[in-house]
Chain A
Amino acid sequence: MAEIVSNGTRIKNLRSRLNYYLPTIVIAIAVVVVWEVAVQVFNIREFILPRPTAILAEFLSQLQMAVTPGQQSILFEAARATLWSAFGGFIIGCGAGILVALATARWTIISEAMMPFAIAANSVPIIAFAPIMNNWFGITNPASKMAIVAIIVFFPAMINTVRGLTLIDPRQLELMNSYAASPFKILRALRIPNALPFIFSALRVASSLSVIGAVVSEFFGGPRATLGVYITQEASGFNFTRAWAAILVASIIGILFYNIILLLERRLMPWYAAQRQSN
């Protein structure tokens, strides 16, 4: 009986979720159809805007090459290299940001003194340092791209973690003090769990920023098999369908990355997702 009920609610849930996403799906399909028809009707040249079906065909043929043994797809090799730069930079930058926040949260004065600098640094176009990083680490070294990504994601990760660790409900702090809890226990039982939603909102932003940072820093030069270099070279060689297919791949990486973080968030903070859904 209970199982039937839960099955029933599951179907209901699925249906309500489908209803929720339906407008989005409809709009997405409509945009692609309008795009396809417009290119054909107005006879738009390929170097201005290729047909979506052409981009998809290019993508699929590259995919086929990638999965066929003995063949290579530069596009997918490039995707792997860029993903590696984005992911490496993400881990280093977010890890460092969270650690610095944790280390300084103990001494509120230090983290408060650092915050204005962090917020100022966060509004600096860090991508402008890409040529400098190429100079430091070597243009073909993935470390030069990782460094840019790491710096870009460091500040949001740090700022949000500091906020999460310090924006505590004073009543909850009073409660912990009434138990004469040690500062370490307050950190572990109150500050860190309180910071988790802040940290995850930073990680979500950082996941998108890291792919953008990796691709754009590759625009400033890098190995042939990276998405940024691939896009610039194919575009300057008038292979626009190929460039667009690479943009498609970069988008897929970004969306995938974002959703992995979202999944992790639901896993690690079951109380949070359910609470927000019920509101």
Chain B
Amino acid sequence: MSQSVISAQGINKIYNPDTTEQVVALQNIDLDIRAGEFVSLIGPSGCGKSTLLRLIADLLTPSSGTLTVNGKDPHQARVDQDYGMVFQSATLLEWRTVQKNVELPLEIMKYSPSERRARAQDVLKLVELEKFGNHYPWQLSGGMQQRVAIARALAFQPSLLLMDEPFGALDEFTRERMNLELLRIWQETHTTIIFVTHSIPEGVFLSNRVVVMSPRPGRITSVIDIDLPYPRTFETREDPRYFAKVTEVRELLRDAHAL
């Protein structure tokens, strides 16, 4: 149960090392994430939260330190397709229908065509878009496109979901609805989720734990347990304990910034 999905020790990431444009994106990151957790990385832009997510995804490699994903080297975890990723923009392939977009990872992983169809239908049902399989991405709203991206990431049932500000481009109403939907999906699929955001209320509302980061150099300043009960609903947002946590995170972010 408390098996480590992500284990990071002393991670440093330096862009353009040994040049005048050297940037220390991450400094001395220690982080442990257990199976089934919902963890948010929160902080102002430039704090390295997206960089940390990309290190876990093996889209970037750390300059030093040790990092394991599912007990493996991140490269091996990527090759084994251990995680699904959702980006800030839906990043759908515009020449594919919704159904075919969701089938893309399954195609790469060589599932049979009938299996692909069945699984794509299943995850589209999960995000309540089963009627839009034959639409092209441009025919959908931003929120719907992002739901397709989530369905695509879930299609091959990865045990780990990496989300990089997935709702950052959405309006407040859509965003709050998507938050509820994501929590429902998380509870139905028992996936571990690492969620990058710069919205304090969003991070607190969704997560078991909030990792507070600060910029220049990017580092973890504190980790807050959010001990609000699940399932969380619209009412949770009016709970005094929720407000208290939001305030706590906000103050920690301010302190981190003042450092």
In the bound complex, do residue B78 and residue A269 qualify as a contact, i.e. CB atoms below 8 Å apart? no
Take A177-B59, A278-B138 as given contacts and tell me if A169 and B91 are in contact as well, using a CB distance cutoff of 8 Å. yes
Interface of B is mostly: loop
Interface string of A154-181 (1 = CB under 8 A from B): 0000000000000001011011111111
In the bound complex, do residue B93 and residue A275 qualify as a contact, i.e. CB atoms below 8 Å apart? no
Give the interface segment out of A8-16, A87-95, A108-116, A185-193.
Answer: A185-193
Chain B residues within 8 Å of A196, by CB: 95
In the bound complex, do residue A174 and residue B78 qualify as a contact, i.e. CB atoms below 8 Å apart? no
In the bound complex, do residue A178 and residue B59 qualify as a contact, i.e. CB atoms below 8 Å apart? yes
Q: How far is the CA of A151 from the CA of B121 in the complex (A)?
A: 49
Residue B83 is within 8 A (CB to CB) of chain A in the complex = yes
In the bound complex, do residue B87 and residue A274 qualify as a contact, i.e. CB atoms below 8 Å apart? no
Chain B: interface size category: 20 to 34
Chain A residues within 8 Å of B81, by CB: 179-180
Q: How far is the CA of A123 from the CA of B104 in the complex (A)?
A: 41
- Minimum distance in angstroms from B58 CB to a CB of chain A: 8
- Minimum distance in angstroms from A123 CB to a CB of chain B: 32
Take A179-B109, A271-B136 as given contacts and tell me if A172 and B78 are in contact as well, using a CB distance cutoff of 8 Å. no
In the bound complex, do residue B87 and residue A175 qualify as a contact, i.e. CB atoms below 8 Å apart? yes
B-contacting residues, A225-279, CB 8 Å: 269, 271-272, 274-275, 278
In the bound complex, do residue A178 and residue B83 qualify as a contact, i.e. CB atoms below 8 Å apart? yes
Chain A residues within 8 Å of B93, by CB: 172, 189-190, 193
In the bound complex, do residue A178 and residue B95 qualify as a contact, i.e. CB atoms below 8 Å apart? no
Residue B244 is within 8 A (CB to CB) of chain A in the complex = no
Closest to B76 in A: A180
B-contacting residues, A76-127, CB 8 Å: none
A-contacting residues, B90-115, CB 8 Å: 91, 93-96, 104-105, 107-109
Q: How far is the CA of A269 from the CA of B79 in the complex (A)?
A: 32
Residue B85 is within 8 A (CB to CB) of chain A in the complex = yes
Q: How far is the CA of A174 from the CA of B164 in the complex (A)?
A: 12
Q: How far is the CA of A185 from the CA of B110 in the complex (A)?
A: 11
In the bound complex, do residue B104 and residue A189 qualify as a contact, i.e. CB atoms below 8 Å apart? yes
Closest to A279 in B: B138
Chain A residues within 8 Å of B96, by CB: 271
Q: How far is the CA of A272 from the CA of B136 in the complex (A)?
A: 10
In the bound complex, do residue B78 and residue A275 qualify as a contact, i.e. CB atoms below 8 Å apart? no
In the bound complex, do residue B136 and residue A172 qualify as a contact, i.e. CB atoms below 8 Å apart? no
- Minimum distance in angstroms from A116 CB to a CB of chain B: 28
Q: How far is the CA of A62 from the CA of B257 in the complex (A)?
A: 84
Q: How far is the CA of A9 from the CA of B94 in the complex (A)?
A: 26
A-contacting residues, B61-91, CB 8 Å: 78-79, 81, 83-85, 87, 89, 91
- Minimum distance in angstroms from A182 CB to a CB of chain B: 8
Residue B57 is within 8 A (CB to CB) of chain A in the complex = yes
Take A193-B93, A193-B95 as given contacts and tell me if A178 and B57 are in contact as well, using a CB distance cutoff of 8 Å. yes
Closest to B82 in A: A180
In the bound complex, do residue A275 and residue B85 qualify as a contact, i.e. CB atoms below 8 Å apart? no
In the bound complex, do residue B136 and residue A275 qualify as a contact, i.e. CB atoms below 8 Å apart? yes
Closest to B89 in A: A171
Q: How far is the CA of A178 from the CA of B78 in the complex (A)?
A: 6
Chain A residues within 8 Å of B136, by CB: 271, 274-275
- Residue from B83, B89, B138 with most neighbouring chain A CB atoms (10 Å): B138
Closest to A175 in B: B91
In the bound complex, do residue A189 and residue B94 qualify as a contact, i.e. CB atoms below 8 Å apart? no
In the bound complex, do residue B107 and residue A189 qualify as a contact, i.e. CB atoms below 8 Å apart? yes
Q: How far is the CA of A64 from the CA of B109 in the complex (A)?
A: 61
Q: How far is the CA of A198 from the CA of B15 in the complex (A)?
A: 34
- Minimum distance in angstroms from B107 CB to a CB of chain A: 7
Closest to A270 in B: B136
Chain A residues within 8 Å of B105, by CB: 179
Closest to A274 in B: B136
Show 10 residue pairs from A and B whose CB-CB distance is below 8 angstroms, ordered by the A residue: A169-B91, A175-B87, A178-B59, A189-B93, A190-B93, A193-B95, A271-B94, A271-B138, A274-B136, A274-B138
Q: Residues on B close to A: CB < 8 A?
A: 57, 59, 78-79, 81, 83-85, 87, 89, 91, 93-96, 104-105, 107-109, 136, 138
Inter-chain pairs besides A189-B104, A189-B107, 12 sampled, C-beta below 8 Å: A171-B89, A172-B91, A179-B104, A179-B108, A190-B93, A193-B95, A269-B95, A271-B138, A272-B95, A274-B138, A275-B94, A275-B136
Q: Which 7 A-B pairs have the closest CB atoms?
A: A193-B95, A178-B85, A171-B91, A180-B79, A179-B108, A181-B108, A275-B138
